[in-house]
Structure 1
Amino acid sequence: MASLNCSTAVCVICLEKPKYRCPACRVPYCSLTCFREHKEQCNPETHPVEKEIGSHLTAKTKKPVENTVTRKRTEFLCRI
């Protein structure tokens, strides 16, 4: 999970120093307990720009990520 850089950010539930951001709406939270409480009222529409950017990507521009570890393991198993 990405850590927060802004020193003025606070958890949306308990107002403590946050460590994480909600994957849907990007608001800061500090713990799993706070995230669960936030999730009940989460509104992904609070950051429509991120959603808009994702919608503009087409299947052609999205390249599959090749996992080299998985590929190497598969090659190794095929040689056995």
Structure 2
Amino acid sequence: MEWKTENNCLTKEFVLKNFKEAVRFVNQVMPLAEAADHHPDLLIHSYKKVKVMLMTHSEGKITEKDHLLARQIEAEFTKEFG
């Protein structure tokens, strides 16, 4: 699944093996977000799915900052779980 625009956010749902892996993925997103001074909304649901929602809150819209973090998150997921 590709990233898509939903409710004024850049979103993607990642499917992991189990709840433990979903939590581990969220914990790996955190330092990427902190380094970018960007704070995505992260939702763990259905025990193994993580929905990532990116929007630059100060701009009230999706910006290049969101696309950059999306690429970093995608690369981390592929490296660790893909």
Scaled by the length of structure 2, what TM-score is found? 0.26
Structure whose CA Rg is larger:
1
- Structure with greater strand percent: 2
Query: Which protein has greater RCO, CA pairs closer than 8 Å, 6+ apart?
Result: 2
Scaled by the length of structure 1, what TM-score is found? 0.27
